[in-house]
Amino acid sequence: MKLKFIYLLSMVFVLFSCKDETQKHLVETQKDIKKKELIFSNIEKGWVFNANPINSTSQANKSSWKEWGNFLTELEQKPKKTIDAFQKKSTELSKKVMDLNTNIPIDFNKPQIKSRISTLITKVRMLDLYIHLDNIPDNKVVALVGEINVELVSMQNQMDKIVRKSKIPIEEGESELRKMLDTTRAIPTTRQQAEELNKPRVE
């Protein structure tokens, strides 16, 4: 009889322990769901890219420079409903931004544009990295969206500057002056020739 009572008491204790654990688990699950909903809400609100060309140069190159056009089009399409959709979109953006390096038009194949493309690639890939973390830092994701927008403006302004500069007519003699200033065209001299040139001459 005493043994049965102890057994019954143990069973009641185990049942209450299980119930308590289940209750704790439910509370943790609800907290996790609310946290994920808040992260999604913040990202959804902050995911606003300025994908529209800001000048005529950018607009014209959206169709003539295929990779640039594809990247802007991808930015325009905002994901919906789930965090998975944002993760897939960031992966796609990461691919499209890498393509910018593969086929740069001759007019824009300059260090100023290449450095801006490089910065854009870094920012977009960081966005892709952050949004795929288990604990998504939503504030960093939203901040990166803003930074990418700044880089987009900088890139488009630089493109426009290059085009405007190319339209300025070259003055007479300017091309010859540029050739003279170009150190890559200088006649190479050996050390011996340089010493000969620097020797004092006896008149």
**196 exposure class (CB count in 10 Å sphere: 0-12, 13-18, 19+):** exposed
Share of the chain above pLDDT 90, in %: 41
* pLDDT at site 130: 95
Reported as a single tens digit per residue, the pLDDT across 5-16 is: 565 556 655 555
**Would the pLDDT of 116 be above 90?**
yes
Reported as a single tens digit per residue, the pLDDT across 44-68 is: 999 999 888 888 888 888 888 999 9
* pLDDT at site 57: 86
* pLDDT at site 38: 87
pTM of model > 0.75: no
**Would the pLDDT of 121 be above 80?**
yes
